[in-house]
């Protein structure tokens, strides 16, 4: 279902969240607020902070 929605978004040059919100199977499973949260990039930063810290430490060690 999500794959089809993704292809539709690309084909029609529209946002995936818009396709998902009007796809019955997806809309039945998730509220508009839940979809907004899923598509919010701030909710996908994961371990980026740790990766940056490690990169900074490696750079500092390389400079010494």
Domain extent for 55 = 2-63
Quick check: 49 pLDDT over 90? no
pLDDT in tens, 13-30: 999 999 999 999 999 999
> What's the total number of domains in the chain?
1
26-62 burial: b if 16+ Cβ within 10 Å, else e: beeeeeeeebeeeeeeeeeeeeeeeeeeeeeeeeeee
Question: Which whole number is the average pLDDT over 33-58?
Answer: 91
Residue 15's pLDDT is 97
- Asked whether the whole model's pTM tops 0.75, one would answer no
């Amino acid at each position: 279902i999500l794959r089809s929605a993704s292809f539709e978004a690309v084909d029609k040059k529209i946002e995936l969240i818009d396709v998902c919100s009007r796809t019955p199977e997806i809309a039945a499973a998730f509220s508009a607020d839940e979809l907004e949260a899923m598509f919010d990039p701030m909710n996908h930063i994961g371990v980026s902070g740790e990766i940056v810290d490690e990169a900074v430490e490696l750079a500092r060690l390389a400079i010494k």
